[in-house]
Structure 1
Amino acid sequence: MAKLTEEAKGVYVIAVTPFTDEGALDLDSVDSMVDFYEAAGVSGITVLGQLGEAPKLTSAESSLVVERMLKRLNGRLPVVVGVSAPGLAPMTELAEKVMDQGAAGVMVAPPWTTKTDDQSFAFYQSVGEALGEIPFVLQDYPLTTNVTIAPKVIERIVREVPNCVMLKHEDWPGLSKISALRAGSAKGETRRISILCGNGGLFLPEEMSRGADGAMTGFCFPEMMVGVVNAFADGKVERAHDIFDAYLPLARYEQQQGIGLAARKYVLAKRGAIKSGALRKPRPVLSAADIADVERLLARQAIRLKEIGA
């Protein structure tokens, strides 16, 4: 598989990690999930992300998931692997292992101890040096990491750390950050790197309008993100908004802290992507009322999609 580059675009869906009802790793569902995402038209897959329950996996299980996914894809789509760790040694060890297995690149979030602009730059400078020729994604997710990285710092990282090829943009609010980064690269002040956006796709149309190249996030209907990104590529901005609007109520529901991932996995199981919607313990469990909410949203979504011919 070719390595990840600054030219990456489209939808790199964040994969869930399938478990059985009892909490065991479900490798058969990794196969069906990969097939499901590929059929939805995604450009790539990101595994072991924040909503992939990566902290609940052992290192051996993490390797098994990556290996199984890469084997199923057989080079048809690039795979990015989250390798964030408290130290550079475990991060580098996992990164080298997954790249040897055939991954296209890795994703790294800053540790919560990063407080200043200089510390942010120094961390990613160290990451770049440790990874060598391995391309990496800078995950900018201050709502989870509590680390805010200003546009000027990201630009410095891009200028001085050549193997940083992508920004996973999840600042919120953060549309002005995309505008600032694109303005800088347009003036030739820094390289133009790929910007893929997260936050469940909640701001995807606006992010695309600001210069994003696509999405790197999860949603139980990845075809929504594919449809929005493709419509923008075709210059059909209003069509992109129509598609997005049809799915927005369910995407919003997925953003709830606690039960959001459970709702996503419930729908993915209902759609046949995975066998069970269970999360690994400790885990939230959807109540009957939660399930009724989701089913109502699905029914209304189907009606709206039919109305717009999507």
Structure 2
Amino acid sequence: MRLTADASGLFPIAPTPFHADGRIDEASLDTLMERYIAAGATGVTVLGIMGEAPKLEPDESLNIAARFAKGMAGLPVIVGVSAPGFAAMRWLARNAMDKGAAGVMIAPVPSLRTDDQIITYYRQAIEAIGTDIPFVIQDYPLTLSVQMTPKVIRAIVEEHPSCVMLKHEDWPGLEKISTLRGFQKEGTMRPISILTGNGGMFLDFEMERGADGAMTGYAFPEMLSDVVKLQKAGKRDEAHDLFDAHLPLLRYEQQQGVGLATRKYVLMKRGFISSDAQRKPGGTLSATARAEVDYLLARLAKIDARALPLAA
């Protein structure tokens, strides 16, 4: 299976589950896949920023990619291959595709500043991995500090037929989606899939601006899937009502430094993973923070029954 520009729905960003001693929790990898499929995922993305990819050895990264490619019931698996150098990027990209991945995701290195630098970087990256591998542009200026204008994204898409998707994580970014879809409508940019991130913080309106779905790791992937489906069905109020119920927890997850710890804690409580451990260096939640998250879950359970087991 190869990733195409028609991809849509929910591609959860998978965390990498660890035991307390830092070993990869392989049993939890299998549980994650089962739960994502049950949640309505149409694909999955591994080894992203949330997946603590820089903390992994190369063989560990490849083994995770291979395990997901085998276990996701034929759904497309996107592998994050971003790296400081192109040799490492090429090694993981080529080997992951050999193991059954559907495509790769490439983020710009933080040192890029001008439009020409960004366009040149992607040109060199695609020369390195090969033009036969479908790839996703990751546009995440909040973390990567690289500002991609819609015109730069269009230039990359038009230069590289193997570019099939944008992971849109700009903030504010709603106008960027509208502009890109405007390019597509006027015929100056070929159609690509746009999946959105940022923890799902703006998914409700991103779908209305033309996004095809979500690619993020919020601890209730079922909500993300439902919002996407409701918006596509034209059930705007129902989509916003469900989204609004989850917004306090979404907001809590967005805190710099403890966001991943919060997400892993909730995923652990929900049975997606057996431990909320991060591989060092990593953040942790204080007892007070855990109590706050538990309170948010109890409030959410009054509206979304999927949180009920967590309310006790």
TM more than 0.5? yes
Q: Show the counterpart of 2:308.
A: none
8 Å Cα contact 1:128/1:162 also seen in 2: no
Match runs of 1:116-127 below 5 Å:
116-127=114-125
* Deviation by residue 1:9-63 (Cα, 9 ceiling, x = unmatched): 1110000000001111111110011111111111111000011111111111111
**3-state SS of 2:12 partner:** strand
CA distance in 2, matches of 1:229, 1:34: 20
Could you tell which deviates more after superposition, 127-136 or 17-26?
127-136
8 Å Cα contact 1:128/1:164 also seen in 2: no
* Deviation by residue 1:229-256 (Cα, 9 ceiling, x = unmatched): 0001111111110110111111111111
CA distance in 1, matches of 2:52, 2:8: 25
* Deviation by residue 1:255-306 (Cα, 9 ceiling, x = unmatched): 1111111111111111111111111111222111111101100010010225
Shift of 1:71: 2.3
Q: Percent identity?
A: 57
**3-state SS of 1:107 partner:** strand
Shift of 1:127: 2.2
Q: Show the counterpart of 2:271.
A: 272
8 Å Cα contact 2:66/2:101 also seen in 1: no
Corresponding residue to 1:94 among 87, 92, 95:
92
Please report the TM-score for the alignment, with normalisation by the length of structure 2. Answer: 0.95
Shift of 1:158: 1.1
Shift of 1:145: 1.1
**3-state SS of 2:227 partner:** helix
Corresponding residue to 2:111 among 110, 113, 118:
113
**3-state SS of 2:302 partner:** helix
Shift of 1:70: 2.0
Q: Show the counterpart of 1:177.
A: 176
Corresponding residue to 2:81 among 77, 80, 83:
83
8 Å Cα contact 2:42/2:76 also seen in 1: yes
Q: Show the counterpart of 1:136.
A: 135
Q: Show the counterpart of 1:152.
A: 151
Match runs of 1:1-310 below 5 Å:
2-75=1-74, 77-130=75-128, 131-305=130-304
CA distance in 2, matches of 1:73, 1:209: 29
**Partner letter of residue 241 of structure 1?**
H
* Deviation by residue 1:136-190 (Cα, 9 ceiling, x = unmatched): 0000001111110111111111111111110000011111111110001000111
**3-state SS of 2:78 partner:** strand
**3-state SS of 2:164 partner:** strand
**3-state SS of 1:46 partner:** strand
**3-state SS of 2:136 partner:** strand
Please report the TM-score for the alignment, with normalisation by the length of structure 1. Answer: 0.96
How many pairs were matched up? 304
Which runs of 5 or more residues in structure 2 are unaligned? 306-312
**3-state SS of 1:148 partner:** coil
**Partner letter of residue 98 of structure 2?**
D
CA distance in 2, matches of 1:35, 1:9: 20
Which runs of 5 or more residues in structure 1 are unaligned? none
